[in-house]
Amino acid sequence: MQEDLLQENYQAYNFAELRDSAVTDGKSLYALRSFNPGDTMIRFQAKGYLSEPNRFTVQQAENRHIILDPEYLQYLNHSCRPNIFFDLPNMAIICLSPIFRNEEIAFFYPSTEWSLSHDFSCRCGSPSCLGHIRGARYLSSDILTRYRLSDFILHKHLQLNR
């Protein structure tokens, strides 16, 4: 079982390869080729749903958190300077900025998460790094307007700031 998991951890997928991350000391997905802004990198499905978030889900609605399929998408890490976005209505990962071969693929966790199940200190190294990541609920309008947000997060944010 552990041997299968080890093999899977270094498997190449059609758009990315799972490798050790220099930023997180964990695993991350790295591009196998270049992508342009607007490109659909991969389509995904919901393997299931949870009513509460965990480290590997993506929030779709108030009490609806997607368990991603393909499962290796759980290795997409956070960055305060994201290069991808989860387009939830179309179940696709969209490229936000040019991504070059061997570049780490990362998204802005608060773009889909109102309140994370586990907050953390960000180590993305971006000049605009927010430092501590807890979810969109804890960020000001000034910060959130810098990012592309899921429909749920945008709606939730607008509700609270009327």
Q: What is the CA radius of gyration of the chain?
A: 15
pLDDT value for 93: 96
Segment 44-62 shows an average pLDDT of 95
Determine the pLDDT at residue 6.
36
User: How high does pLDDT run on average in the chain?
Assistant: 90
How crowded is residue 63: how many other Cβ atoms within 10 Å of its Cβ? 11
- 3-state class (DSSP) for residue 58: strand
Model-level pTM?
A: 0.89
User: Which tokens is 157 given?
Assistant: 């944010």
pLDDT value of residue 2: 37
- Residues 10-28: tens digit of each pLDDT: 445 689 999 988 777 789 9
Rounded-to-integer distance, Cα 149 and Cα 128, Å: 17
Helices (H), 77-147: 141-144
DSSP per residue, 16-46:
EEEEE-TTTSSEEEEESS-B-TT-EEEE-EE
Look at residue 12 in the predicted model and tell me its pLDDT: 53
Digit-coded pLDDT (tens) for 82-134: 999 999 999 999 999 999 999 999 999 999 999 999 999 999 989 999 999 99
User: Domains plus CATH for the chain?
Assistant: 2-160 (2.170.270.10)
**pLDDT at position 5 over 80:** no
Residue 109 carries which DSSP code? G
Ordered alpha helix ranges (H), the chain: 2-9, 141-144, 151-160
Q: Is the pLDDT of residue 9 over 60?
A: no
Q: Tell me the pairing of strands 64-69 and 77-78.
A: unpaired
For the chain, what percent of residues have pLDDT higher than 90?
A: 81
